[in-house]
Amino acid sequence: MVSALNAQLTHHGATDVLRAAFQTVPDIALVSSFGAESVVLLHLAAMVKRDVPVIFIDTEMLFAETLVYQQELAERLRLSNVRIIRADDAEARDPSRSLHRRNVDACCALRKVAPLRRALEGHSGWITGRKRYQSGTRAALEFFEVEDATGKIKVNPLARWSRADITEYMEENRLPRHPLVAQGYPSIGCAPCTSKVADGEDPRAGRWRDQDKDECGIHFVDGKLVRAGQDT
């Protein structure tokens, strides 16, 4: 089915991919970080199916600006089914909120990966904002794929979009940017693990700076964590 959909939609745009996703996987959800580029996918989805379940993982370590932006976007786009998910055991396992200093991967697993996995248990597929330009591992990213680790269908409507396409779409549709982008944060995650990016640096240089890590761990290929990419 996935191969047939990719072949059928080879020359189609993101809106057609979304329509096909909703028809093929009725219980599909959209996962969004409400980060620097998230508004594009959310806007497209709202035009096709405003009540699509939108899963937002509140790690309880996010910037206040992200939480405000999430509320404002949901209202502006009239998204009627936003689900805010938090870890059930974060308080017990990380009461001092310092786990990220000792083991950053364990913190991501506790506060984002595990909650998302639980949130997706009732869905046969999910929609992401991944794009080919974001890394070498995504250079051949298709619109539809099967996640080997879970068997779920993963849909990437923006797979073939460029960074310029994202910027142009935001400008043409007058979509509000995340307020931290103007302050030097082109890629935005949890506050303790996100820093400003200098001119000329890679947009993700401010994520887990000086650590051998550039992905929170929510995307897998062949059952293995893929450490590359932009905001979901």
Just list the catalytic residues.
216
Distance CA 229, CA 133 (A): 9
Q: What is Dmax (Cα atoms) for the chain?
A: 51
Distance CA 30, CA 7 (A): 23
Tally Cβ neighbours within 10 Å of residue 119. 19
The single-letter code of the amino acid at 213 is K
- Name the CA dihedral angle for 27, 116, 138, 206, rounded to a multiple of 10 degrees: 140
Distance CA 107, CA 5 (A): 36
For residue 82, give the nearest of 119, 136, 125 by alpha carbon: 119
Give the up-direction half-sphere exposure of residue 191: CA atoms within 13 A in the CB hemisphere: 12
For residue 33, give the nearest of 11, 61, 4 by alpha carbon: 61
Distance CA 31, CA 129 (A): 8
Contact 152, 128 (CB under 8 A): no
